[in-house]
Structure 1
Amino acid sequence: MQRSLTMLKDEKAIVVFSGGQDSTTCLFWALKTFKEVEAVTFNYNQRNKNEIKCAKAIAQELNVRHHVLDMQLLNQLTPNALTRNDMDITDGGDRELPSTFVPGRNLIFLSFAAVLASQADAKHIITGVSETDFSGYPDCRDAFIKSLNVSINLAMDQQFVIHTPLMWLDKEETWKLADKLNVLDYVREKTLTCYEGVKGDGCGECPACKLRRRGLEKYLASQKGAEG
């Protein structure tokens, strides 16, 4: 579905952007790949309000036009630990999804990103989902993204392309991509992945921080080994 990246230099893209490690890496990837890039962040009444502040700050610093769309209806429809302070953040187990899973989130976000892309005359949509480190979320799977891409194109009678630069990368490889883009330190220091709202290396205890830290430690160890 995706054309050679060398053919995209004159085209425009929309990045689904949370200000976290993955979406910020994707934003830098998009800035290198496309002529013009805009970012969209969704306010779904997430308990961590610093996420939106971080996204705004990064977009401003990188001089990227930034849209924040109100999606707080999700909070009413889907009780989950990302939007409810009275719910504990837990990993999934025994075939159960983590408490941080927001049903329909990527379905809705990517659909609205496509509507925005249509208004912005952009044909490309970038999202940082990954099937390798997807925590069991069904809407991070490659099959879902490909299916949704076809559905959006049929629904809107346009030819969007949804790009997933991280789909087959684990967290170690995502750090490697950031390093390849010469933004590893930027991503490490200025992004917010932590469920508790702590920027940079985070709280160190929540599932998101543990996953991020393990990937970084593995990547830094591999670089040290290569130098030795």
Structure 2
Amino acid sequence: MKNRKALVVLSGGQDSTTCLFWAIDKFGKENVSAIGFDYGQRHKLELECADKICKKVGIPYEIVPTPIINQLSANSLTREDIPVEETKPEGAPPNTFVEGRNLLFLSYAAIYAKTHGITDLVTGVCETDFSGYPDCRDIFVKSLNVTINLAMDYNFVIHTPLMWLNKAETWKMADDLGVLDTIYNETLTCYNGVLGEGCGHCPSCTLRRRGYEQYMEMKKCTK
């Protein structure tokens, strides 16, 4: 894949940043760029984290304002008056689910990619630890890949390196890529906007911490 260009959908969180380094490894740094979206998220600091990491490794990063998501979707990530639920309601997505977010992000990314001669899109969505978000499922990504190819008459390939990995395996990937410390200390996964280890009690922090502890235990057992 070293002769192709890749665009990473980069939020600045653990998953997308791990995918950034995966893309650098697979495509070569000179062929990788990244795009992020400012949709009025309460953890907007994640975009600053993404920008700093891209500057650090020399990757072009474009932040695109997408306020329409905030206007149309009422959820705890775009509304300060809706607290982040610490437990997922039975039979329903958590209130952190932003309707259509990945659909829009990947569509916007595809438009940007085509105008820049990029065929490969990389996203950190994951079905194994998808938290009940329907737009993180493999079937959705495959369906969208066909749709945007038809809509733009262009041969996009959407890569999902984390699709079948749990959080412990995602930490392992970061370690294998030599960026474990960067992911641990410089990314923002916390829904409440706390860098690194996060607030410790929102669903995203809980999932991240549990995966890290599991990976550290696995690593210890293999020594």
TM-score (normalised: structure 2): 0.97
Which position in structure 2 is the counterpart of 1:150?
146
Which position in structure 2 is the counterpart of 1:85?
80
Cα offsets for 1:39-88 (capped at 9, x unmatched): 00000011122111111111111111011111011001001100111101
Gaps in structure 2 of 5+ consecutive residues = none
* Secondary structure in 1 matching 2:140: helix
Which position in structure 2 is the counterpart of 1:75?
70
Aligned with residue 169 of structure 2, among 167, 173, 183: 173
CA distance in 1, matches of 2:47, 2:82: 21
CA distance in 1, matches of 2:200, 2:99: 26
Aligned with residue 157 of structure 2, among 154, 161, 164: 161
Cα offsets for 1:109-158 (capped at 9, x unmatched): 00000001001111000000000000010000000000000000000000
Amino acid at match of 1:24: T
* Secondary structure in 1 matching 2:42: coil
CA distance in 2, matches of 1:216, 1:71: 32
CA distance in 2, matches of 1:96, 1:123: 35
Which position in structure 2 is the counterpart of 1:64?
59
Cα offsets for 1:170-227 (capped at 9, x unmatched): 0000001111111111110111001111111111111111100000000000111111
Which position in structure 2 is the counterpart of 1:202?
198
Which position in structure 2 is the counterpart of 1:127?
123
Gaps in structure 1 of 5+ consecutive residues = 1-7
Alignment of 1:1-228 (within 5 A): 8-35=1-28, 36-90=31-85, 91-227=87-223
Deviation at residue 24 of structure 1 after TM alignment: 0.5
Q: Among all aligned residue pairs of Structure 1 and Structure 2, give the percentage whose two residues are the same amino acid.
A: 55
CA distance in 2, matches of 1:219, 1:51: 24
Greater relative CO, 1 or 2 (CA 8 Å, sep 6+): 2
CA distance in 1, matches of 2:68, 2:10: 19
Consecutive aligned runs of 4 or more in structure 1 exceeding 2 Å deviation = none
TM-score (normalised: structure 1): 0.95
CA distance in 2, matches of 1:182, 1:154: 38
Deviation at residue 92 of structure 1 after TM alignment: 2.3
